[in-house]
Structures are given as C-alpha cells and as structure tokens.
Homo-oligomer: A and B are copies of this chain.
C-alpha cells in the first residue's frame, strides 16, 4: 500500500557530547520517509527553499522517495533548527529556530499523494493536519504526531484533528499533557476513547507501547551504549511503523506488534550517527538482524508455575 507523509524538511545544526554539525539534512518528513522507504513507496509532502541542494535531494532519490510534492520556493530559505543535547541525551535545548519557508507551509497534495492508503501527519499545525487528512478520503489508516507547543496553544483544534485520525504516535509527556492524566495507561485510554484504533506512546530509552481497544503491547528500546544524536528518532520510529504496515496491507494486532518492533529497529539505527547518515546507509540484513535481536531480548517461555511441594 502507498504511504504519504506531510511534515517538515529542514536543515539542522547540532551539538552533542560527541561532536557538532553546522548544517545537516533533518526534518520530521525527512526522517520519516527515509525509514519508511525501506518498506514501501513513500510520497513526501513538504516545502524547502532555494538553498536545498543536490546532496539533500540525493538522499531522497537514493531511497526512491517521491518528492514531487516537496515544493521549492526558490527565493526562500529552508526551515532551520539548531539544538544542543547534554550528556544524558534525553532532551534537546533549542538554540535557534528559523521557520523560513515553513512558516507559510500550505501542503499541496498531488492526486497520487491523495490516493495513499496510509497517511502520516507529522508535527505541524493541527488545522493543517486536519485539512490534509480530509484530502485523503481513501486513507485506511491515518496516524499523527504533535508536540507540547500545539497542546498548549491550540488544544481544541488539536483534539478535532485527533478525532479524524486512526492513531496517534506521541511521546509520554505529550499524552499526559493532552489528557491532563498523569497515569500513562489512563492517558492512552482517554485518547483511544476519542474514537481511535491505536495509540502509540514513544518513551525514549524505555521503548514504546501500543494501546488498542483489545490489547497492550510493549517493546523496549534497543540497548545502546552510545546514543550519538537522538534528533529524528521519533519520526524514524513512525516511519518504520507506518512503512511496515503499508508493506503488509494489514492493521491486524499481529502486524501492529511487528510494526512497533520495526519502528524501534529503525529508531535504534537513527541515533547511532548524526542526522540521516546511519539510516541512509542501512541495508536489509542489518534491519532483519536487529529485528531478531529485539525478539531475543524480549522472549521468554510461557511456563506456568507449579509448586513441587504442598502449596503454601
């Protein structure tokens, strides 16, 4: 099944304890498409400026990502974000944000992008997300991300958008903030109750959890001794998750579970190097080997306990 993503394409400047990069390819739609491209055909919808160059387009082209709907505003500049990570690598401190051409981003979907069976609305203004969703009537499974900024500044619009998607892929702090509910399981249930099929909670180094009406699935994060650059890990997770679903033509429980793991697999690679570098260079044997590692690190035999002697 085809997959369309709408979101930011950007340049990032990063400082981590492991090094510094002045201007590398970033953005939610970028990380998402790159991860998803290993599983399915992806249409990316976004906007860039005249400064977006051959190297950047090359990354998309190498992975057969359809960039027809990435609008180029030749006399504008690409969205630029600059951030710094401290030693614990959990939260980024934003040093600079220049929205540039992204400030007036008005997603224009071609007929091809509109016909997608799966749609991912990356973190953009909720009203825009809703408008895009309405342009894709054939979409069988629509997922969205958001961020604390929209929960604070546009909560009503955001809730209207949540009601027209099938799945949210957000982090635990966002789920708590969106529902005013400190317990994550109750928070997820409140979101599900808005009419969704699935709620995915990203928990950083603790992995990710999937809530559906009938069940619950939890996967740990891959045990990495060095997280090099966490930028884009959440979007890479979403790309692996949605890409795998698209490839399987199914949103059954079994498939959703494996999609959670493929999402975690892709995110674990993303953080190993700066920006898109690691995922760009990935191959299928590496993906499947890490998928197997996830199986190994969570597997146990289902053997009920029986007391040998008289029960207490």
Copies of this chain, tallied across the complex: 2
Contact B311 A216 (CB under 8 A): no
Interface membership of A87, Cβ < 8 A: yes
Least Cβ–Cβ distance between A185 and chain B, in angstroms: 5
Contact B284 A311 (CB under 8 A): yes
Q: How far is the CA of A291 from the CA of B303 in the complex (A)?
A: 9
Interface membership of A173, Cβ < 8 A: no
Instruction: Select one of B88, B185, B258, B304 contacting A301, CB under 8 A.
Output: B258
Q: How far is the CA of A288 from the CA of B63 in the complex (A)?
A: 47
Instruction: Select one of B226, B254, B304 contacting A288, CB under 8 A.
Output: B304
Interface size class of A (residues with CB under 8 A): 35 or more
Interface membership of A262, Cβ < 8 A: yes
Interface membership of A292, Cβ < 8 A: yes
Contact B287 A305 (CB under 8 A): yes
Contacts of A137 in B (CB 8 A): none
Least Cβ–Cβ distance between A117 and chain B, in angstroms: 15
Could you show 8 A-B contacts with beta carbons less than 8 Å apart?
Answer: A183-B225, A183-B227, A215-B296, A218-B220, A219-B298, A257-B299, A291-B305, A295-B302
